Amino acid sequence: MSKRKQRRALRAEYEKALAELDDVRGRLDETYGRFNAVTDEAALDACIYEISALKSRYNCAVRAVKSFFL
């Protein structure tokens, strides 16, 4: 594979990682908004569970983006 193709492939992977990070950040914002708006205990529990899962995904996405700079 030529260096140009390698750079293009690496750039595509980096952009995909950034898109994932942006998507998860947006979903976290939405979920925090729902968490602040609901009063039902079951809905609160669901939001807490979803926030926890999204935080884990966010951390993975941050590590993926950081890996391009190490």
Return the DSSP state at 2.
Answer: -
Residue 2 in domain: no
* Domain assignment of residue 32, given as a range: 16-69
**Per-residue pLDDT at 44:** 97
**Per-residue pLDDT at 59:** 97
The tally of domains found in the chain comes to 1
- DSSP sequence for 27-69: HHHHHHHHHHH---HHHHHHHHHHHHHHHHHHHHHHHHHHGGG
Residue 47 in domain: yes
**Per-residue pLDDT at 5:** 94
Per-residue pLDDT tens for 32-47? 999 999 999 999 999 9
